[in-house]
């Protein structure tokens, strides 16, 4: 449950996939949309759903380690948002990690929401970077490759989905 007047740190998450690998990206910002830190991580394999669940669990762990008590997570994968209301949606092999994650959330003001893919471009870019690396990359300062996207996002400029169909 979230208090209506609390400051919320926000984390956008996304996954990226190829036939051979999967990766995730996480970008944390404060309540004024100022950059805090971001991560790109190559996860090896996994399905879209498993990677997205792992990404959100890692984001909660990072927030807990940094003692951020008010956390808003946005994802463009609606099934992950639904998983918070239905434990049976969590695969057995992830269930212990998921329960540990939700236990960490008991000490936080927490909300998870869906965002359309067009509004999640920074996390998408980080996830794509994750496919290019081994392990995890951490940025405590805004990386140059995200600068334009973050400015675009902070200004509330629209992102359009274009189809050639």
pLDDT value, residue 1: 45
Q: Is 73 inside any structural domain?
A: yes
Q: Is 162 inside any structural domain?
A: no
User: Which band of pLDDT confidence, cut at 50, 70 and 90, is reported for residue 163?
Assistant: low
Q: Is 15 inside any structural domain?
A: yes
* Cα(72)–Cα(27) distance, integer angstroms: 11
Segment 31-70, tens digit of pLDDT: 888 999 999 999 988 888 999 999 999 999 999 999 999 9
Q: Is 48 inside any structural domain?
A: yes
Better pLDDT: 3 or 100: 100
Residues 6+ apart with CB under 8 A from 74: 10, 11, 12, 13, 112, 113, 114, 115, 119, 120
Number of domains in the chain: 1
CB 109 within 8 A of CB 3: yes
Q: Report pTM.
A: 0.87
Pairing of strands 70-75, 109-114: parallel
- Give SS3 for 47: coil
Q: Is 1 inside any structural domain?
A: no
Q: Is 4 inside any structural domain?
A: no
User: Which band of pLDDT confidence, cut at 50, 70 and 90, is reported for residue 164?
Assistant: low
CATH of residue 94: 3.30.420.10
Q: Is 160 inside any structural domain?
A: no
Q: Is 38 inside any structural domain?
A: yes
Query: Per-residue pLDDT averaged across 14-27, rounded?
Result: 92
Segment 90-133, tens digit of pLDDT: 999 999 999 999 999 998 999 999 998 888 899 999 999 999 99
pLDDT value, residue 165: 59
pLDDT value, residue 102: 94
What are residue 9's phi and psi, to 5 degrees? -80, 140
Domain range for 78 is 9-154
pLDDT value, residue 2: 47
* Cα(114)–Cα(82) distance, integer angstroms: 10
């Amino acid at each position: 449950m979230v208090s209506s007047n609390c400051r919320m740190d926000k984390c956008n998450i996304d996954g990226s996939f190829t036939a051979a690998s999967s990766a995730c990206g996480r970008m944390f910002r404060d309540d004024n949309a100022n950059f805090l830190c971001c991560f790109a991580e190559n996860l090896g394999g996994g399905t879209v759903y498993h990677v997205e669940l792992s990404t959100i669990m890692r984001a909660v762990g990072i927030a807990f380690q940094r003692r951020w008590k008010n956390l808003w997570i946005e994802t463009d994968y609606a099934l992950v948002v639904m998983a918070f209301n239905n434990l049976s949606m969590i695969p057995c092999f992830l269930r212990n990690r998921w329960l540990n994650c939700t236990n960490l959330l008991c000490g936080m003001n927490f909300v998870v929401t869906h965002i359309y893919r067009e509004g999640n471009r920074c996390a998408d870019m980080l996830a794509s970077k994750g496919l290019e690396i081994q392990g995890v990359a951490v940025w405590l300062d805004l990386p140059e490759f995200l600068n334009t996207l973050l400015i675009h996002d902070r200004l509330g400029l629209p992102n359009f989905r274009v189809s050639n169909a």
